[in-house]
Amino acid sequence: MNYFSSDFKLGILGGGQLGKMLLNDTRKFDIYTCVLDASNEAPCKIASNEFHLGDLMDYDAVYNFGKQVDVLTIEIENVNVDALETLEKEGIKVYPSSKTLRTIQNKAKQKLFYVDHDLPTADFLRFAYLSEIEDTINNGGLKFPFVWKAAQFGYDGNGVKVVRQLSDLDHLPKGECIAETLVPFKNELAVIVVRNASGEIKTFPVVEMEFHPEANQVEYVICPARIDDKVAQKAIDIALKTSKAFNHVGLLAVEMFQTADDKILINEVAPRPHNSGHQSIEASYTSQFEQHIRAILDLPLGRTDSKVGGVMVNLVGAEGHTGNVIYENIEHIMNMDGVTPHIYGKKQTRPFRKMGHVTIVNEDLNEARRIAEAVKKSIKVISE
């Protein structure tokens, strides 16, 4: 099939920053790309060949959009899976598949999938309603502390809470959820697996993620992870086993905990480009975004190793600021060695909203991490 400078159409469900970064590569290859998003202000609007307005959870919107393209992919999991299933039956190629998405969209189903496929994950209980948790605690079936997770529609730390006492359950959504054993871990790691439709498979190096203590968002991604080679290999093996279990095509980001005794447990997965791979744009031979496109079009995969050590800093809206965005001190960080800012194109900031990221590359990973700290202290995402 000729994808380049041709009549072929690639469709992306979701018009956020991940889509925008995918579009850098579709433009590089001159692949005609259509995007569906519910917001007229979506970051993808300026870079796609066709921009369609529509609700990603609406069956008709997704189905009618999908009928106009040859291959359909996502940059966000919350899409109408029934429409994708119909499109697959009618011959449209959909990656990730509706089957994969149906499992991943629901955290309870996702956890059961790990158990069924003998993939290591923290112990958990599944509840249809929040109220059932209190009954289970009173009956001695669940002990504090534990991690509450909404079964659906959680993102960036939303829909996750550490519960240490009964009052922590107040004001949480009332619907389906899981309660997970709180894992005493020493590292949060991630491995991105890329697999094309022919079955060629590669992994990016293991990264470590440092989290913001309050927002439960990634503050720094460090590549490669500063861990023992044996632990890194264990993480890669588990990520590959996970990808195989899903029979996944495209990118699969596998987030994991490294426990105190060096066990690896899967936290969750994302079947799309992921925050833990943003540094690959500057630091890798082939970025995660280019790899996703290569994989879903069944093209040969590129090199996944790093050219240089990389650290990624998320740019999120400062607390107390809502409104038209200003990136304070951006010139100052651009004056630092190896620093590249990426601005996502969201005109409005609010506290903890992801507005961009900064990549720091350096032959010395510790130096990159030091510069990353300086970047974090300097640049502020504020409002007018």
Q: Which residue has the tokens 């800012």?
A: 341
> Which residue, 299, 311, 303, 346, is CA-closest to 327?
346
Q: Tell whether the torsion through CA atoms of 287, 289, 295 and 298 is positive or negative.
A: negative
Positions at the binding site:
107, 149, 180-183, 188, 267-268
CA distance 26 to 289: 9
DSSP label at 378?
H
Positions at the binding site for ATP:
107, 149, 180-183, 188, 267-268
Report the relative pairing of strands 32-37 and 9-13 from DSSP bridges.
parallel
CA distance 272 to 95: 9
What is the distance of C-alpha 165 from the center of its chain? 30
352 conformational bin, left if phi > 0, alpha if psi -120 to 50, beta if neither: left
Q: What are phi and psi of 4, to 5 degrees?
A: -100, 130
Q: In what order do the strands lie in the sheet with 323-328?
A: 348-349, 323-328, 380-383
Helix (H, G, I), strand (E, B) or coil at 70: coil
> Any residues with CB less than 8 A from the CB of 97 and at least 6 apart, and which?
84, 88, 247, 248, 249
Residue 27's identity, in one-letter code, is R
DSSP sequence for 88-151: HHTT-EESS-HHHHHHHHSHHHHHHHHHHTT--B--EEEESSTHHHHHHHHTTSS-SSEEEEES
CA distance 288 to 302: 10
Exposed/middle/buried for 121, CB within 10 Å: 0-12, 13-18, 19+?
Answer: buried
CA distance 69 to 384: 40
Q: Are 268 and 180 in contact, with CB atoms under 8 Å apart? A: no
